[in-house]
Structure 1
């Protein structure tokens, strides 16, 4: 026997609990991606119905009509929003009584939100891994990091409830009939309920001095001044992020800022809880649906695309460059002590951030292969590049994009094969982007990713076979979301072109629809080839579970060991191998 745990559980009972917990975890890892995929497809269906009468030329015209001052204001408000998010952590550190220097807090906050805002779960929760590793490097315990996360989560909802409450009360919203809400439904009572919840929290901070027990955990409410600071900074954060999108919209007296705030908050929360990466599709669908009475569709769609690029993708690229630069500095310094502290902690984050950035780079290539090329750029390119080169670059560019989506999962596991293949595909993607239509914007993004990934070479050292590594259902769902989104976009853009079998064999300078069809087949072929290779790889049976006698023997050895990692053998998920050499009695 392994011995008895607290509460008198035997080894067998503990083993049964672990099995049931593992089963529940496996079910959750399958259901969550399926829900996200279903919500994304539903959002695409709604978006298709809304924009069916728009033309891609109208959206492009609206995109180019966004003035430079609007872009600058969007960038400024986005910067202020990320700055306000860092104050979340600053107040949280004061709450737990472990004040850190603001530069450390700012770095942790920026990296965590730049990563989490592009993932498929609530940003506060998704940023927990980044916070745990960085704050752990600054000397904070796991319990303290958990309290920081809890404080930030409460701060987030305080801002949503407070600002949403005021918006719903002062400017009651007229929700579109497509949401199928009751005829007399009003958001004013919801707003009053939101404000009452905020008031109850602030009142509790004034009156309750003893810890509140939640599921056996004692939680101390913050001081009143800290609680008011929470509310104020969270409201400021939401105002900044709302303003970042609002300034991109065409000026209209029919859309007051207070009304826009309420609609934005509804779409934002729907995108967050959908578990779709970055709320992609869900957020945009609801915004287009709810803002249809106030502004024209093409300018709104263009504004949403620019906003996603500035608020979501730009910080992710900066975070990747920042981590890559820090990793390159650590490698070149050659000083062992630099491997500790900040450099050691950030090296733990490199695979996750680089995987996400590479995934985004693949999505950019895939969506770019769907869109028609700029006519003026294509005409200039035709003077120096033959048509077959343009056609092949477009085809292989989409295949490279799909390859990057798949390889990103290997980067997350530090596989050296995934690293080298990603470097090759990023470099090829830069060339293909320029040769298929002088898409220098995506070439710049891919160059940033290539530079950041090159700087992080030392973090990708595992020589395990790429096809032998497990791929989570969530990653497959994310790849399918991007692929299905790009296919839908292509059919939306070219829906006015009559389909014929001859399209597949039509090669012309302005033959965007045939190029889209061929590129889609190439991308799907890459995905199917990867799936077939994984399906027919040699079967590896799961390792045999350790017996009670083996665990008892290992327990005795662990008690004599001075290395705490030896106790990992008792988790029950590993096979036990005995050495043929005699074991020292020490």
Structure 2
């Protein structure tokens, strides 16, 4: 490292206390709002269906013609085909070309999960990141694709809804009770605003809105995307429309209602808009269509448009595992993409199946099925199968989180739970459809078992607040359905103890109680389980083992482990390690894992799980782009820190005009009487007094103190473990730098750099040029000049907020830190710049994580506020 690389956060102007509280508790407030919306929608659906009986809904489902179901499947296929073009259009917008087949697999999987799990930008975005990173897209390009498809859908939905409302205002006014003129006025205002936006963006112009610069798509791209969105929403609306019974509500009016229901469902952030979508449809069409038939149509719509595509996606990844498919290059490429997206797909499928088991446990079994089962099984067996099926459903819901993280424990829990539920589906009811889905899920898990090899305990997982809220939403939905189905049954305490073949209400009550108690126990265990002890400080034998590993690696900066101030986590094989320190709740790992590259993914997973197990926050500091896909798999969110300057020593040559400034610095140092010398590690102890004198004078002259973690400190044991480059004048040392290198001769670097106040001006330039020539002659390939913090931040229109903040600090933060000066110094050596990132578990903790890193490097609050 060439300079202190901590990031000092400037003090912010005071903000209103309410805004501070909102920012601090945003996650909690969002989760609470999601739960409240779900409860409100459950109450609304319950009241809107006050005259509906469960049997009527079942009969309505049975009365739906196969022709209508076939048409619904056809329009669903058209909808998902159009959704694929979102990604193709986005790739065209950013100027990248990818093979159509893997893009289609990725887009289909992303929308299958996004439509089901909600939070499409996040759930579908994770799919795109995993898949597109393997296809060669950079994180910035993937972020632009995600932003494009998200905003394209939002603006397209707004546009088509406004057009539909404008065309059908009188009809919508009759249904909604609003004034048609107000509907027309609102729709016109929306269309004018969108038209203005389209005009401003003609030919891909850049515009600035509330301080944010955007490059809008050109007219052709915008028009093409609008047609794709309009077609998508139109055919997806038709999926539900063809399932409705004959009605006098025309398709244009229904289209406007459907678009509003979809929009409100997306804004609610409730998974798949469950309850919100139904409440809007029931409220708008309840007076025009029989409510029981309307409910039956909505249930079928959910099955066809949400569950069916996800099932197809699961089937596709099962077939992608077949060896026969891998013989063809195109099939092999598609199988690679399918393998990357299989864990989140199986996670979403587990969530659906778990919810299905829970909901089926609170609904009655058909009498015909009970007649058949009662002839072969005794009542206690049926009761037990029904009760345990509901618990297995909740087990699948909880394990779905671990499946997304590729945990081996979650794989086993899901496999055993689904297998048992498959058997119970025949024992409690002849549920062939349920058994089919469970069987498919078991096969998919077995086929992809090798992808779930993260050695982490599922019991050590801390359920995050959004997952706790999701469990509560499922319980609220189950309770709503229970009360809706058995609204005619008078409650009494005796119901709990009634055990009869054809008395379903008591059985459902006991199942709801069971899953409620199981959920409370799981959440309580997650929140109150004992915290793990922090790992022990680094022992000498572990330090010796880590040094042996780093000497065989290409990462020179790994020599920072010699400081002994960090803890070390080794891989099971002992061929790799990660060094980290703990500050507050943050477990902060420094750099990439060192050692065997094939163990990097497992090392990251172990580190993340260990930090979570101790109730901490996992932070990977200064990681390279090669680790980003592994970080995404582990649920970490990456933020750019800056760029690392790497000098190519093979082509480093002072001849010519390109490096004339460095050649002049070398000649000036020689004229000033400077002599360059390398003190090998074995001889450093004898020079320690002189080195300490230079170091102390440098600290006193700069009125600063030693740093740490990502920077070395002057400790005799540390300095004497490294070779040192020194400058002498008249025989006395006036400047020095400790050298980082490994036995592979791949990379060299420096850590401590100190010079005496009386050293000639330009002494450090002379030291660096001399050191680079020495390492080049010694056979080294590259030289690491260290990181320039906050440099290279994206200035594109879809750049994350973090990049914009970092870019602003880089441009205007000279008062706090010499960002530009540091990059200018490194630029004199004409390096190539490699981005470095900080990856944090749970993106909302990035500011706290950065503060912990700053405190760790600076040695506490005193080191931050002082020098």
TM bucket (normalised to shorter chain) is 0.7 to 0.9
1:427 equivalent in alignment to 2:427? no
Asked if the contact 2:172–2:253 (Cα under 8 Å) also holds between the matched residues in 1, the reply is no
Q: 1:132 aligns with which of 115, 129, 133?
A: 129
Q: 2:167 aligns with which of 165, 170, 174?
A: 170
Distance 1:327 1:576, change over 3 A: farther
* d(CA) in 1 for partners of 2:125, 2:220: 26
Asked if the contact 1:70–1:247 (Cα under 8 Å) also holds between the matched residues in 2, the reply is yes
Deviation at 1:489, TM superposition (A): 0.8
- Residue 267 of structure 2 is matched in structure 1 by 273
Partner SS for 1:99: coil
Distance 1:449 1:434, change over 3 A: same
List per-residue Cα deviations over 1:191-238 (Å, max 9, x = no partner). Answer: 2123223322333344x5543346777543333222221111111111
What is the CA RMSD across the aligned residues, in angstroms? 3.6
* d(CA) in 2 for partners of 1:248, 1:306: 8
Q: 2:147 aligns with which of 146, 150, 153?
A: 150
* d(CA) in 2 for partners of 1:235, 1:324: 33
Q: How does 1:19-98 map to 2 (within 5 A)?
A: 27-98=25-96
* d(CA) in 1 for partners of 2:421, 2:438: 7
Asked if the contact 2:201–2:215 (Cα under 8 Å) also holds between the matched residues in 1, the reply is no
* d(CA) in 2 for partners of 1:349, 1:266: 31
Distance 1:355 1:23, change over 3 A: farther
* d(CA) in 2 for partners of 1:137, 1:213: 34
Partner SS for 1:129: helix
- Residue 290 of structure 2 is matched in structure 1 by 296
List per-residue Cα deviations over 1:100-139 (Å, max 9, x = no partner). Answer: 2322221121011011111232x35542221222222221
Distance 1:157 1:320, change over 3 A: same
Name the TM-score, length of structure 1 as normaliser.
Answer: 0.87
Name the TM-score, length of structure 2 as normaliser.
Answer: 0.60
Deviation at 1:523, TM superposition (A): 1.1
Which consecutive segments of 4 or more residues in structure 1 shift more than 4 A? 1-5, 14-17, 22-26, 173-179, 181-185, 213-218, 327-330, 340-346, 545-548, 554-577
Deviation at 1:175, TM superposition (A): 6.1
Partner SS for 1:58: helix
Q: 1:448 aligns with which of 440, 445, 453?
A: 440
* d(CA) in 1 for partners of 2:515, 2:365: 18
Structure number having the greater helix percentage: 1
Q: 2:583 aligns with which of 531, 544, 556?
A: 544
Count of aligned pairs between the two proteins: 564
Larger Rg: 2
Q: How does 1:277-426 map to 2 (within 5 A)?
A: 277-327=271-321, 329=323, 346-426=338-418
List per-residue Cα deviations over 1:52-81 (Å, max 9, x = no partner). Answer: 111111111101000100000000001100
Deviation at 1:485, TM superposition (A): 0.7
Q: How does 1:428-577 map to 2 (within 5 A)?
A: 428-540=420-532, 543-545=582-584, 549-553=707-711
* d(CA) in 2 for partners of 1:565, 1:204: 33
Deviation at 1:525, TM superposition (A): 2.2
Structure number having the greater strand percentage: 2
Asked if the contact 1:73–1:247 (Cα under 8 Å) also holds between the matched residues in 2, the reply is yes
* d(CA) in 1 for partners of 2:181, 2:419: 54
1:251 equivalent in alignment to 2:246? yes
- Residue 237 of structure 1 is matched in structure 2 by 232
- Residue 584 of structure 1 is matched in structure 2 by none
- Residue 219 of structure 2 is matched in structure 1 by 224
Which stretch has the larger CA shift, 76-85 or 402-411? 402-411
* d(CA) in 1 for partners of 2:128, 2:121: 10
Distance 1:234 1:394, change over 3 A: same
* d(CA) in 2 for partners of 1:388, 1:34: 40
Which stretch has the larger CA shift, 214-223 or 346-355? 214-223
1:115 equivalent in alignment to 2:113? yes
* d(CA) in 2 for partners of 1:259, 1:548: 71
Distance 1:239 1:567, change over 3 A: closer
Deviation at 1:483, TM superposition (A): 1.3
Distance 1:565 1:16, change over 3 A: farther
* d(CA) in 2 for partners of 1:549, 1:4: 8
- Residue 203 of structure 1 is matched in structure 2 by 199
Partner SS for 1:212: strand
List per-residue Cα deviations over 1:484-518 (Å, max 9, x = no partner). Answer: 21112112111211222221121111110010011
Distance 1:108 1:25, change over 3 A: farther
List per-residue Cα deviations over 1:559-583 (Å, max 9, x = no partner). Answer: 5697989976996768989xxxxxx
Q: 2:189 aligns with which of 189, 193, 211?
A: 193
Deviation at 1:275, TM superposition (A): 0.5
Structure 1: runs of 5 or more not aligned: 578-586
Partner SS for 1:550: coil
* d(CA) in 2 for partners of 1:497, 1:284: 25
Which stretch has the larger CA shift, 540-549 or 463-472? 540-549
* d(CA) in 2 for partners of 1:397, 1:532: 22
Partner SS for 1:187: helix
* d(CA) in 2 for partners of 1:548, 1:34: 45
